Amino acid sequence: MQRCTARITRRSRNAVVALLTAAVVTVGAACTTGVPAPGGTSTSPGQVPAAAPAGARDVGVQLFQWTWDAIATECTDHLGPAGYGWVLTSPPQEHVLGSQWWTAYQPVSYRIESRLGTRAQFGAMIAACHAAGVDVVADAVINHMTGKDAPGTGWAGSTYTHYDYPGIWSDAAGDFHHCGVGPSDDISNYRDAYQVQNCELSNLADLATGTKHVQDGLVAYLTDLRSLGVDGFRIDAAKHIPAEDLAAVVARLPAGTRIVSEVIRGSGEPITPEQYAAIGDVLEFAWGKDVTGMVRGGSLRLAAGLGAGSTYLPSDKAWIFVENHDTERGRATLGYKDGADYVLANVLMLATGYGRPIVYSGYAFSDRDAGPVQGAAGKVVDAACPAAVGPQVAYTDGEWVCQHRWAAIEGMVGWRDAVGGDLVSDRWQHGDAFALSRGARGLVVLNGGDVEVAAQVPTTLSDGSYCDVVAGPAVEGRCTGGPVTVRGGIADVRVAPHTALALHVGAPAGV
Ligand code: ARE
């Protein structure tokens, strides 16, 4: 294997620290590949502000299509101990029948009764997660109802037609938008704000969220979920709800309700994520898409400063993710099938000071519409992670991928919790490898290139021996990977192609 070697001139630790606050670190680089080696460079401190205060446990995990019982068990056994701060559930309300995963996004009523579990199971899950120190954020589908032209019956037995949900909404009461554009009333042009917020998204009956009647109903639903202990909501399809309507609903929810709006950033579109930032937090889709483009383009190093520019939401408003349930199906972003590159993107997400990260965890599929494994009556079978998980596993369709348990991802959750709110203090680069430091508490080195990098990377970690937590969490000083030595402000590292290495103060080796 070809080797790319970078050396920083040995100096005392203080001298290196002083050097890091200047713009450039001098590196002697010997690189035998065609990858241009720009030399090791380091940017000045604090360009990307840290979103989380120290010890904030700000990492979330989307357990896509997991049942309430399975989430409860996972909170207790895994999410809490691993340091996850919150879990995003799939929509909990009654939905249309069908085996596809997306039936959850077609509400029939606001009864908490779905193929993922009952109201009692939902409440028990929240209690179990809270006991494990994990908050619960529910996916709230409040922009629309079903997209079914024929009358039907929902999961919990409620009858409905496309524009009539007995006792809840009806056309007669003026509860739906009919935009009058085209034959289907569907959105056909995302550059037309009127269409986006008054026409239908994929034939889904669009609620007239500007009316008092609709707002009252939505407030009642969300307040009910809060009464069960839910901490906050992902607002599904928020782009299609005028910001002032959503603000009016949110203003009536109990104090402290966490809100994250799903507003996909679209080129040239008039409805933007920024318009929803006054209501709460917003999903920043551009982060995952940009990282994906950089990785696929073979230039991971460009991702080192993602979020520092002005084209994203402010850090304290942004929730970022490598992929979610939509993007993994559209292949718009990296996903579990991308193996090592997917892991690298997750390591970066968990290391960056920009935004708050959401780890995604779903099931294997080849058919975009395929739902999770269901029993004879249609109830989703409780998720169970295979004994071996990770990028090396060939998952069969329907199997739970359990990305949140992958060694590198779980190790980096611990890393992030350990570095807390320490600022990104410097960035070292060499070829397609780069490092991010978090003050004196943590160091990550990512190698997006095709050759091993052996380098002496500047760090403000104290002298000592550290476990590489990307190789897996350290247990009482016993490293899964590493150990790596830090001496005089230098970490002596070797990073294989398309892998990463991470050290932090909470994972010293051999104690
Ligand atoms: C299903 C069928 C449809 C059928 C419909 C009604 O697939 O053929 O017409 O049912 O019967 C999910 C699935 C859909 C599914 C729907 C309802 O993805 O396939 O439809 O559930 O069951 C836009 C929105 C954004 C939305 C994406 C998908 O702005 O909010 O489209 N994402 C959320 C969820 C989805 C969910 C819904 C909303 C609906 O995350 O999982 O749909 O509740 C540009 C724009 C984006 C736009 C995107 C569309 O990028 O900038 O704003 O996203 O194009 O590709």
Q: Give the residue carrying structure tokens 């050759």.
A: 451
Digit-coded pLDDT (tens) for 103-126: 999 999 999 999 999 999 999 999
pLDDT greater than 90 at residue 226: yes
Q: What is the DSSP string of 361-385?
A: E-B--SSTT----B-TTSPBPPP--
What is the Å distance from ligand 1's center to 268 Cα?
A: 19
What is the Å distance from ligand 1's center to 262 Cα?
A: 11
Quick one: DSSP state of residue 7? E
Could you give the percent of the chain with pLDDT greater than 90?
A: 79
Please tell me the distance from the alpha carbon of residue 224 to that of residue 113, in angstroms, as a whole number. Answer: 13
Quick check: 175 and 206 in contact, CB under 8 A?
Answer: no
Homologous superfamily of the 3-52+422-504 domain (CATH): Golgi alpha-mannosidase II (2.60.40.1180)
Q: What is the pLDDT of residue 44?
A: 32
Tell me what the pLDDT averaged over the chain comes to: 88
Q: Which two tokens stand for residue 336?
A: 């579990």
For the chain, what are the domain ranges?
A: 3-52+422-504, 60-147+212-416
Q: What is the pLDDT of residue 425?
A: 78
What is the Å distance from ligand 1's center to 125 Cα?
A: 27
Q: The whole model's pTM is what?
A: 0.91
Quick check: 285 and 249 in contact, CB under 8 A?
Answer: no
Instruction: Please report the atom of ligand 1 found closest to the CA of residue 204.
Output: 6
Digit-coded pLDDT (tens) for 370-422: 999 999 999 999 999 999 999 999 999 999 999 999 999 999 999 999 998 77
Q: What is the pLDDT of residue 480?
A: 86
Any catalytic annotation for residue 328? no
Residues with CB under 6 A from ligand 1: 102, 105-106, 141, 147-148, 190, 201-204, 236-237, 239, 262, 264, 266, 269, 325-326
Rounded mean pLDDT, 429-453 = 93
Active-site residue identified among 236, 284, 290, 468? 236
pLDDT greater than 60 at residue 27: no
What is the Å distance from ligand 1's center to 202 Cα?
A: 7
Q: What is the pLDDT of residue 51?
A: 42
Q: Which two tokens stand for residue 265?
A: 């950033």
What sign has the CA pseudo-torsion 499, 503, 507, 511? positive
First to last CA, the chain: 34
Answer yes or no: CATH 3.20.20.80 is held by domain 60-147+212-416: yes
Quick one: DSSP state of residue 299? -
Shared fold status for 3-52+422-504 and 60-147+212-416? no
Active-site residue identified among 262, 281, 341, 410? 262
Task: Say which residue, 308 or 141, is predicted with more confidence.
Answer: 141
Any catalytic annotation for residue 245? no
Longest dimension (CA), the chain: 78
Task: Say which residue, 312 or 301, is predicted with more confidence.
Answer: 312
